[in-house]
Amino acid sequence: MATLYVLEQGAEIRCDGERLAIWQTDQELGNVPMAKLEDIVVMGNVGFSTPAIKRLLDQQIEVTFLTTQGRYHGRLIGEVTAHVALRRAQYRRADDEAWALAMAQACVSGKLRNCRAVLQRFARNRQNVDANVQESIAALEHFIERVERTTKISSLVGVEGSGSAAYFGGLRSLFDQEWMFNNRNRRPPTDPVNVLLSLGYTLLVHKTLGAVQAVGFDPYQGFLHQLDYNRPSLVLDLIEEFRPILVDALVIRCCSDGRLNASDFSPSDDPKHPILLSNEGKKRFVAAFEERMRTEVTHPDGADGRPGKVSYWRCIELQARQLARAIQTGNGYQAWTTR
Residue 160 is labelled as binding a ligand: yes
Spatial distance between the Cα atoms of 184 and 113, rounded to a whole number of angstroms? 19
Indicate the residue type of 313. Answer: W
Cα 95 to its chain centre, rounded Å, is: 26
Contacts of 128 (CB under 8 A, 6+ apart): none
3-state secondary structure of 293: helix
Spatial distance between the Cα atoms of 293 and 289, rounded to a whole number of angstroms? 6
- How far lies 22's CA from each of 6, 54, 278, in Å? 8, 16, 21
Residue 244 carries which DSSP code? I
φ, ψ of residue 51 in degrees (nearest 5): -60, -35
Residue 79 carries which DSSP code? P
Indicate the residue type of 114. Answer: N
Q: At CA 237, angle to CA 337 and CA 93, rounded to 5? A: 110
φ, ψ of residue 68 in degrees (nearest 5): -60, -25
Residue 240 is labelled as binding a ligand: yes
As beta bridge partners, residue 160 has none
Spatial distance between the Cα atoms of 256 and 243, rounded to a whole number of angstroms? 19
Helices 84-95 and 312-329: crossing angle in degrees, nearest 10, is 70
Binding positions for Mn(2+) are: 160, 225, 240
Binding positions are: 160, 225, 240
